[in-house]
């Protein structure tokens, strides 16, 4: 009764039940899992707590990652925020939180894949920053996560969330779409606005390649998460302003799936193309290989 695999189905349920996306997503999970509302809600609270912890841990100035390509960037952006920011406090805070989560991920710390490890920073970054600045509380954070989950479910059902299968559009693009829909919800937008924001966010990152330097989820992955937060918030603002996506969300998802299949394997998480094939990236790989040989 509450299962959906397209945005069209989701919006129809919202209309039929006179409920928002968060409530429909919660009922869908109850129906699919057989678990009580209270159990699912508590699990979502736990997930948000982990997200908050990963943000806190990632803001340390001396964070060391596995490959040493990133670390301390979240702290630097926080420091810049104290001096003033061009992109607005909430956006800069969201970006710093996204960097923090990705730095924890790259140092083998505990994160929530939202929707993947490589794209784990954008959704918590946007939600946590918005919740803090608007003083909304954890209950609204859980509802926002449910909205993001509904968007992620549709993408997973109709396309892919895997960088190896669809490129970074499937990871960071999906995360930005989830975050855009979630922040529209937090701002009091309609279900249709959330879906339009998600469509614009995914559409704006269509074709983004997955090209991790040395195969590590550090460069360019971490900064793409931060950029994804600003992208998501802008798309949310456009949707809240009444701007709609000319291409419906379901068609954008289908297009993303087709683009992923058309991509060269070199651009799908193999570390053989894009940024991973630059002279600087290749020099780093040679250096790491030499160090391993010496050890």
Closest C-alpha to 167, from 68, 276, 71, 249: 276
Q: Is residue 187 part of a domain?
A: yes
Q: Is residue 282 part of a domain?
A: yes
Q: Is residue 2 part of a domain?
A: no
Supply the pTM of this predicted model.
0.97
Question: 227-237 pLDDT, tens per residue?
Answer: 999 999 999 99
Mean pLDDT of 44-59: 98
Given a cut of 90, whether residue 172 has pLDDT beyond it is: yes
Mean pLDDT of 54-79: 96
Q: Is residue 109 part of a domain?
A: yes
Q: What is the dihedral of CA 166, 113, 142, 150, to 10 degrees?
A: 20
Question: 80-118 pLDDT, tens per residue?
Answer: 998 988 999 999 999 999 999 999 999 999 999 999 999
| Mean per-residue pLDDT over the chain, rounded | 97
| The predicted structure's pLDDT at residue 188 | 98
**Three state DSSP letters for 155-202:** HHHHCCCCHHHHCHHHHHHHHHHHHHHHHHHHCCCCHHHHHHHHHHHH
Q: Is residue 1 part of a domain?
A: no
Domain limits for position 122: 7-294
Q: Is residue 259 part of a domain?
A: yes
What total of structural domains would you count in the chain?
1
Distance CA 191, CA 201 (A): 15
Element (H, E) at 280: helix 279-294
């Amino acid at each position: 009764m509450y299962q959906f695999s397209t945005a069209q189905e989701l919006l129809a349920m919202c209309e039929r039940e006179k409920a928002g996306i968060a409530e429909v997503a919660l009922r869908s999970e109850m129906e699919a899992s057989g678990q009580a509302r209270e159990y699912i809600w508590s699990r979502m609270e736990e997930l948000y707590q982990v997200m908050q912890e990963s943000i806190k841990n990632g803001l340390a100035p001396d964070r060391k990652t596995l490959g040493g390509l990133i670390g301390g960037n979240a702290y630097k952006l926080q420091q810049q925020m104290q001096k003033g920011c061009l992109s607005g406090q909430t956006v800069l805070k969201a970006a710093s939180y996204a960097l923090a989560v990705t730095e924890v991920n790259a140092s083998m710390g505990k994160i929530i894949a939202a929707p993947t490890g490589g794209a784990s920073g954008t959704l918590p970054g946007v939600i946590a920053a918005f919740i803090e600045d608007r003083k909304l509380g954890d209950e609204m954070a859980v509802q926002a996560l449910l909205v993001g989950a509904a968007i992620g479910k549709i993408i997973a059902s109709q396309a892919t969330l895997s960088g190896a299968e669809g490129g970074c559009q499937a990871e960071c693009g999906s995360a930005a779409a989830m975050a855009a829909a979630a922040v529209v919800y937090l701002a009091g937008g309609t279900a249709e606005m959330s879906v339009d924001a998600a469509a614009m966010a995914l559409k704006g990152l269509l074709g983004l390649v997955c090209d991790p330097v040395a195969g590590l989820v550090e460069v360019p992955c971490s900064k793409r998460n931060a950029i994804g937060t600003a992208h998501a918030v802008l798309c949310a603002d456009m949707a809240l302003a009444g701007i709609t996506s000319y291409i419906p969300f379901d068609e954008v998802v289908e297009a993303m799936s087709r683009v992923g299949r058309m991509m060269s394997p070199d651009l799908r998480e193999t570390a053989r193309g894009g940024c991973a094939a630059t002279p600087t990236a290749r020099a780093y790989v040679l250096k790491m290989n030499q160090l391993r040989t010496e050890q």
